[in-house]
Amino acid sequence: MSSEQRKAFPFSEFEPKWQGEWEASKAYRTPNPGDADFDASKPKYFVLDMFPYPSGNGLHVGHPEGYTATDIIGRFKKMNGFNVLHPMGWDAFGLPAEQYAIKTGTHPRVTTEANVANFTKQLKSLGFAYDWDREVNTTDPGYFKWTQWIFLKLYNSYVGDDGKAHPISELEAQGLSREEIDHRRLAYVSEAPVNWCPQLGTVLANEEVVDGKSEVGGFPVERRPMRQWMLRITAFAERLVSDLDGLDWPESIKMLQTDWIGRSEGAYVKFNVEWPTCNGKPSGNPWAPPTIEVFTTRPDTLFGAEYLVLAPDHPTSTYLTSWLTTFLHTWPKGISDKWKGEVTEAQALPGLAVQAYREQAMKKSERERQQEGGRHKTGVFTGLYARNPVAPSKLIPVWIADYVLAGYGTGAIMAVPAHDDRDFEFAQKFELPITQVVQPPEGKDWQGFTDNGMAVNSGFLNGLPTAEAKKKITAWLEEKGLGKGTTNFKLRDWLFSRQRYWGEPFPIVWENGQHRGLAESELPLLPPTLEDFKPTGTPEPPLSKATDWVQYSATAKRELNTMPQWAGSCWYYLRYCDARNTERFVGVEAEKYWMTGKCSVPSAQCSDSEKLSTPTLSTEHSAPKPGGVDLYVGGTEHAVLHLLYARFWHKVLFDLGYVSTPEPFQRLVNQGLILGEDGQKMSKSRGNVVNPDDVVREYGADALRLYEMFMGPLEQVKPWSMKGVEGVYRFLARVWRLVMEVDDEGVWSLSKALQDVPANKQLTKALHETIKKCGEDIEKLSFNTAISQMMVCTNAFTGAEVKPAGAIVTFLKVLSPFAPHLAEELNAQIRAKFPALAAKRFLSDETWPAYDPAALIEDEVEVVFQVNGKLRDKARVPIQATKEEIEKIALASARVQEFMEGKPAKKIIVVPGKLVNVVV
């Protein structure tokens, strides 16, 4: 279709015009508490989009899906008397700009600025009611100054016994040593093994590694120990799970986070290893036999523990290997070769076999371990035995196997083959004993039964159901000092440093091998200017190339790592509340108002003290909500990472008294992915990508907005259809022609059918139904059904000879959140002839129309008559007809009588205004 073709309505003229007017008059500026035009008597509504990474590709049609939804909500809430905060910004640090810099030498700042300019232009062409004065950019020094500031808060905090973050100064006051304090910081340095990606030249968080490859680029990732900054998110694991309860999030997302955090209750149990004896005497060595502490969720099965397993990289594995190599020169009698590992040459001695197995296991990458072949169980017997604490007479073998992970629990397990799938598989392979200790319900095999049942063969636990057995054994272990109840989490601490250039530098310097935070006054710490962004090829970050910058003082050097991209997005919603504040990351009053709705600053415009003392608060009478942002819309891809990290930071800031709510986001909605016309995921390689700019050029911004909402439910995955765009475009054209008509020259003028007359009964009903349904549907985010109702209404008006101008203006108010340009233009056209009927300024300044319930009521309704549940007849019945009257009419129906076949009615169900069902 060529752009020469005459347009069905002149959107390409009036859309830019109104965008210009809105911008010039700051129509969507939102005043803050303390501003002259701030009205504290209004409730607040904070509606947030997940801010985009401004990529070089520009917007794709997935972006405007969520953005249109929030725009409609924001405009609707504003018309309903809310102070609406609806901002936009840029998550602009990140790898693509840096890799582009490596390729072309263009500084990431230049690329980022160009991309931001392009995104801004594109977003503005869609007519979103953002308050652009609040725009944030994570790469702006005025922004990342505060990202660094929050990092320092983490660095200078610890979690106390109350489970809350406290300033580190409390520990200093208690006289703790430097080392003890460093050990408790929420931001700490760790030497743990990390995911190193040579191609990207950086380490990655566990979450950024998918199937042993980097999530970005799909490059291989290897494990290697490196000195890294970690954030102690695990200290908040419990609260991150339990606080989900109060949030209006999709259950599936809550589930995803809960699973990710992976809370499980169980117990630690201590097993003592015994050195082998030689002719009844200890085999004569000075090393202490170790105690192996295991974590189990099934302490009730302790009597069934048949062997222990240590992770290959468990410290006790290392200790035992040394001991075996030094002291144990023989296997216990009668050990099968199977138990001695797969390396034949090493089977001669336990020390050799164990050493060979560990080397093999630790060489295996995460990827190899997860692949099919890597999943079959391997392991090696250490030649040593430990005592089961509940059955001291029983010695059980100690194994090393890589199906036990060092990073979870204690890195060691007690194996109960009868009631754990993995242990069962292992025991079968190595012919280890399998003892039943849980009695399953009738009809189930006890072998491999992992659910709850009743304890058997378990001494003092016998006969107890699993839950009670757990309690009893845990109490017993605690009493004897052999173990204790505990809770474990799958969640690991957050690896927070990256070896990249284009990220926030850490506000940290190193001196004499110790780290220290910069003073607040030294922020923001800008990255150095670099010509060469290439990774060094070693774990040394690119910032090391800025030799002057690195040298903080004669004796101190700067931290060379930068923060991950998640950092900036952890708190941007807070910055929106007060985006230009230079004194604080967010002003106290602004944060309090936008996050809680409470306002202690008087409205500047209302000077009478009576009004000041009684501000109406939106949250005052309802149950307090833990989350601050009223509605957060974005993709499911951030279900765990971003949303978990942001919640973590928010809780730290909450504990330290910097924010007012325990949670950031009250209501979360995930928009569904938009697929290409072929039903496949949009991608350049498939050639099915739809560019929103093209759609705007052909059909206009309103048509794009409307189509994105008309496609189907917001949360659903759905394919694009250009024919569908044309459909809503035709609808908009029909609305246009309610008001405008065209002459032979193609010049549009106000339609002569448009008159200042009241709408007739039928049109009034259609209009008020539309007001009602659209209002309700917007609240439910059911935009597709709201639009179809507007279509019904428009069709009714199209069929009318005379178009009642006042009713059409009311309709335009309802349409305006969806198609703001068209609604605004038609209102202005109507205003030229009927100034009294139209909105004075912008439709967004108008109040959402109220519907008249009386207008919805009809004199007669259609009632259907069923016989035995099958539809047989219908009749129009007066609305006020009684049950008895309706029943009489139904029974009088010839068709009803025909199908009753002369039988008497057994039962008659009458639903007034709906139906009559006669059962014979």
Partner RNA sequence: GCCGAUGUGGUGAAAUGGUAAACACAGCGGACUUAAAAUCCGCUGGGAGGAAACUCCCUUGCCGGUUCGAGUCCGGCCAUCGGCACCA
Neighbours of 523 (CB within 10 A): 18
Position among 719, 769, 852, 875 found at the interface with RNA (CB under 7 A): 719
Q: Which tokens hold the place of 878?
A: 């007066």
Q: How far is CA 709 from CA 84, 382, 676, 776, 790, in A?
A: 21, 64, 16, 15, 13
> Reading across the β-sheet that carries 193-197, which strands appear in turn?
202-204, 193-197, 222-225
Does residue 571 interact with RNA by CB under 7 A? no
Q: Residue 480: count other Cβ atoms within 10 Å of its Cβ.
A: 11
Number of residues this chain uses to bind RNA (CB under 7 A): 82
Read off the DSSP letter of residue 220. B
Q: Which of 39, 468, 478, 726 binds RNA (CB under 7 A)?
A: 726
**Cβ proximity to RNA, 82 vs 399, nearer residue:** 399
* The only residue of 279, 832, 870, 902 in contact with RNA, by rule CB under 7 A: 870
Contact pick of 185, 340, 642, 718 for RNA (by CB under 7 A):
718
Nearest distance from C-beta of residue 885 to RNA, angstroms? 18
Report, in Å, the least distance between residue 380 CB and RNA.
14
Stretch that binds RNA, among 260-268, 382-390, 452-460, 498-506 (CB under 7 A): 260-268
Strand pairing class (380-388; 391-400): antiparallel
Choosing from 635, 734, 852, 897, the residue that interacts with RNA (CB under 7 A) is 734
Amino acid identity at 250: P
Q: Given candidates 60, 109, 369, 471, which one binds RNA under the rule CB under 7 A?
A: 369
Q: Which one of 316-324, 333-341, 366-374, 810-818 is the stretch in contact with RNA (CB under 7 A)?
A: 366-374
CB atoms within 10 A of CB 330: 13
Nearer to RNA, 404 or 652 (CB): 404
| Binding status of residue 264 toward RNA by CB under 7 A | yes
Site for RNA in 572-601 (CB under 7 A): none
Q: How far apart (Å, rounded) are the C-alpha atoms in residues 204 and 200?
A: 9
Does the footprint of RNA cover residue 749 (CB under 7 A)?
A: no
- Per the rule left: phi > 0, alpha: psi between -120 and 50, beta: everything else, 410 is alpha
> Which of the stretches 58-66, 601-609, 704-712, 849-857 binds RNA when contact is defined by CB under 7 A?
704-712
**Candidates 160-168, 460-468, 544-552, 709-717; binding stretch for RNA (CB under 7 A):** 709-717
Task: Please list every residue from 400 through 429 that binds RNA, using CB under 7 A.
Answer: 402-405, 407-409, 411, 413, 420, 422
Assigned token pair, 262: 């992976």
E strand or H helix at 292, and its extent? strand 291-296
Site for RNA in 777-796 (CB under 7 A): 782, 784-785, 787-788, 791-792, 795
- Residue 643 CB, nearest approach to RNA (Å): 13
For 283, half-sphere exposure in the C-beta direction (CA atoms, 13 angstrom radius) is 17
Q: Which of 27, 102, 733, 753 binds RNA (CB under 7 A)?
A: 733
Give the whole-angstrom CA distance, residue 680 versus residue 688: 8
- Give CA angle at 76 (71, 79), nearest 5°: 130
Asked if 849 and 815 count as a contact pair (C-beta separation under 8 A), the reply is no
Question: Is 871 a binder of RNA (CB under 7 A)?
Answer: yes
Residues for the chain: how many in total? 920
Cα distance between residue 767 and residue 374, in whole Å: 66
Q: Which residues contact 270 (CB under 8 A, 6 or more apart)?
A: 291, 292, 293, 389, 482, 483
CB of 202 to RNA, least distance (A): 20
Long-range contacts of 2-10 (CB under 8 A, 24+ apart): 3/697, 3/698, 6/746, 8/729, 8/730, 8/732, 8/733, 8/736, 9/732, 9/733, 9/736, 9/737, 9/740, 9/748, 9/822, 10/748
Minimum distance from residue 368 beta carbon to RNA (Å): 9
The sign of the torsion formed by the CA atoms of 45, 148, 88, 842 equals positive
Given the DSSP bridges, would you call strands 213-214 and 209-210 parallel, antiparallel or unpaired?
antiparallel
The distance of closest approach from Cβ of residue 679 to RNA in the complex, given in angstroms and rounded to an integer, is: 8
Q: How far is the CB of 161 from RNA (least distance, A)?
A: 24
The nearer residue to RNA, 8 or 354, going by C-beta atoms, is: 8
Q: Nearest approach, Cβ of 877 to RNA (angstroms)?
A: 11
Closer CB to RNA, 716 or 762, in the complex: 716
* Tokens representing residue 602 in the block: 């008087």
- Cβ 213 to RNA, closest distance in Å? 12
Q: Which one, 577 or 766, has the nearer CB to RNA?
A: 766
CA torsion 274-280-285-289 (nearest 10°) is 10
- Judge contact between 684 and 58, C-beta under 8 A: no
User: Residue 510 CB, nearest distance to RNA (Å)?
Assistant: 32
Closest CB to RNA among residues 251, 479: 251
Tell me which stretch binds RNA (CB under 7 A): 95-103, 172-180, 620-628, 724-732: 724-732
CB-nearer residue toward RNA: 27 or 405: 405
Pick out residues in 172-231 that bind RNA (CB under 7 A).
210
Taking the least distance from each CB to RNA, the nearer of 101 and 889 is 889
Only segment of 434-442, 754-762, 866-874, 885-893 that touches RNA (CB under 7 A): 866-874
Side-chain half-sphere exposure of 163, counting CA atoms within 13 A: 9
Our CB check for RNA shows the closer of 586 and 644 to be 644
Which of 176, 182, 155 minimizes the C-alpha distance to 167?
155
Nearer to RNA, 717 or 891 (CB): 717
Chain residues 4-43 in contact with RNA, contact rule CB under 7 A: 8
CB of 908 to RNA, least distance (A): 9
Distance (Å, whole) CA 479 – CA 483: 9
How does DSSP classify residue 554?
A: S
- 94: which 2 tokens? 């990140």
Contact status: 66 vs RNA (CB under 7 A): no
Q: Candidates 133-141, 582-590, 613-621, 711-719 — which segment interacts with RNA by CB under 7 A?
A: 711-719
Per CB under 7 A, the list member of 227, 429, 730, 841 interacting with RNA is 730
Pairing mode of beta strands 748-750, 754-755: unpaired
Sequence-distant (≥ 6) Cβ neighbours of residue 468 within 8 angstroms: none
**Among residues 58 and 448, whose Cβ is nearest to RNA?**
448
Closest approach of Cβ 8 to RNA, in Å? 6
Question: Which of positions 483-522 make contact with RNA (CB under 7 A)?
Answer: 488, 490
Q: How far is CA 43 from the centre of its chain?
A: 26
862 touches RNA by CB under 7 A: yes
Among the listed ranges 196-204, 330-338, 611-619, 908-916, the one in contact with RNA (CB under 7 A) is 908-916
Based on the shown chain and the rule CB under 7 A, indicate whether residue 367 belongs to the binding site for RNA.
Answer: no
- Nearest approach, Cβ of 211 to RNA (angstroms)? 8
Q: Which is nearer to RNA, 255 or 850 (CB)?
A: 255
User: Which of 291, 798, 847, 882 touches RNA (CB under 7 A)?
Assistant: 798
Among the listed residues 439, 457, 463, 461, the one whose alpha carbon sits nearest the alpha carbon of residue 449: 439
Q: What are the residues whose beta carbons fall under 8 Å from the beta carbon of 904, sequence distance 6 or more?
A: 920
Exactly one of 34, 212, 465, 727 binds RNA (CB under 7 A); that residue is: 727
Tokens of 802: 């005379």
**Which residues sit opposite 266 in a β-bridge?**
486
Q: Which is nearer to RNA, 28 or 566 (CB)?
A: 566
Q: How far is CA 738 from CA 703, 804, 834, in A?
A: 17, 10, 15
Range 295-324, binding RNA (CB under 7 A): 295-298, 311
